[in-house]
Structure 1
Amino acid sequence: MKDYDFTLKFNLQQPKVDPSVYVEALYAGGCDDALIGIGKKGYISLNFIREAPFAYEAMSTAIADAKRVIPHASLIEAAPDYAGLTDAAKILGCTRQNVRKLIVTGEPSSPPPIYEGTPSIWHLAEILDWLREVKAYPIDSSLIEVAKMKMDLNNVKGWQTLEPTYQETIKALVS
């Protein structure tokens, strides 16, 4: 069993409801391993450190537990998935300049950003995987596993918003 650290952000679909009404129910409903954020009405964020054999099991049971307590909640994002240089540096325990040197000014095999601008954004899983595979950084496998799961969840969430009549055509275009 490993500990998996991840954050799930939910839209409560009822903007006038104070999310603090769900805190005790979430704790009693299986989310006692989460730090619950209720800073904005209509939204709730749960930062889990959940023990499980695999990241998929940790994250899927966490989502199921939260949705059992708040059935109308809709997952907005599994985080952190989208990462800038500062985010990656914080996770890796090094400086932003070091990450910039590795990724931005490094070799051409470095992962491409999903948004190139100021700041550029990458999928954290792609950065971690590249650093371990290409640069031989000692990245913990559970960190990469949970990062890939977060990326997959967010990609599926985005895919669901795509016009159904275009899904197959777009899938063929990007294959």
Structure 2
Amino acid sequence: MEYEFTLKYQLSENEDIDALLERLAEGGCDDALVGVGQPGRMALAFIRESTSAKQAVESALHDVVRVVPTARLIEATPDLVGLTDVAEIIGVSRQNMRKLMLAHSMSFPAPVHDGSTSLWHLADILLWLQERGSYSIAQGTLELARTAMAVNVSSSYKRVFGEPGFTH
């Protein structure tokens, strides 16, 4: 199965971008579109064939760390999303998604960031929708969202507590 996900990294100051792009292609990341627009940052949009989302993401993480060992993982996506993102993924309008959230405010997943723009873990909302049985959620989509969430939570834990997690 093909899995589409993005890995975002902070680069060291002395990275030669042209050489980096060449090393990534040679190092197993030739299935990613590389973006380096913001200085010191790199995003790799992968379309990776694998038997599971977990295996696809982990193999990409390992490929990147092998090629760019000093890169620090910032985020794996799809994970943190707004209602508009969720609506697009499940094929409804943003208004429909908002109505659903408001109508089921007691059971709808709590956002991880609540403010003028609220953010949720995509996996939490997809699981909630799946449990309701009213929306068809592709298993690969849910599996990828759960994997990205696990990578991000593990990476954040590692940064905060300096304990084992995704070190890439």
**Could you say whether these structures have the same fold, taking a TM-score greater than 0.5 normalized by the shorter chain as the test?**
yes
The answer to whether residue 65 in structure 2 is matched with residue 61 in structure 1 is no
Kindly indicate whether the alpha-carbon contact (under 8 Å) linking 1:19 and 1:43 is maintained by their aligned counterparts in 2.
no
**Number of the residue aligned with 2:92:** 94
Q: Which residue pairs with 1:39 in the alignment? A: 37
Out of 95, 117, 120, the residue aligned to residue 119 of structure 1 is 117
Displacement, 1:103? 1.8
Q: CA RMSD in A?
A: 1.7
Whether contact under 8 Å (1:19, 1:41) holds in the other structure is no
- Percent identity between matched residues is 44
- Distance across 2 between alignment mates of 1:161 and 1:68: 20
User: In 2 relative to 1, CA 6–164 (structure 1 residues): closer, same or farther, beyond 3 Å?
Assistant: closer
Other-structure match for 2:157:
159
Q: Is the 8 A contact 1:18 1:42 kept in 2?
A: no
TM-superposed CA distance for 1:163, in Å, is: 4.0
1:1-175 aligned within 5 A: 2-14=1-13, 16-163=14-161
Any stretches of 5+ residues in structure 1 without a counterpart?
166-175
Q: Distance in 2 between matches of 1:135 and 1:125?
A: 15
Cα distance between partner residues in 1 of 2:49 and 2:138: 15
Q: Displaced runs of 4+ in structure 1, greater than 4 A?
A: none
Partner deviation per Cα, 1:137-165 (whole Å, 9 max, x = no partner):
11100100010010011111111133469
* Residues in 1 aligned to 2:42 and 2:106: alpha-carbon distance in whole angstroms: 39
Are the counterparts in 1 of residues 53 and 144 from structure 2 also a CA contact under 8 Å? yes
Tell me which amino acid in the other structure corresponds to 2:12: Q
Q: Which runs of 5+ in 2 are unaligned?
A: 164-168
Secondary structure, aligned partner of 1:131: helix
Structure 1 residues 52 and 164, CA, compared in 2 at 3 Å: closer, same or farther?
closer
CA distance in 2, matches of 1:4, 1:80: 11
Write the deviation string for residues 98-154 of structure 1: whole angstroms up to 9, x where unpaired. Answer: 111112332521111111221111001111111111243111001000100100111
Q: Counterpart of 2:5 in structure 1: which amino acid?
A: F
Whole-Å separation in 2 of the counterparts to 1:124 and 1:13: 30
Cα offsets for 1:39-88 (capped at 9, x unmatched) = 01211100111111111110010011111111111111101211111111
Kindly tell me: are residues 49 and 164 of structure 1, through their superposed partners in 2, closer, same or farther at Cα, counting changes over 3 Å?
closer
**2: distance between equivalents of 1:142 and 1:163?**
31
In structure 2, how many angstroms separate the alpha carbons of the residues matched to 1:30 and 1:136? 40
Of residues 124-133 and 85-94 in structure 1, the stretch that sits farther from structure 2 once superposed is 85-94
Aligned residues: 163
Partner of 1:173: none
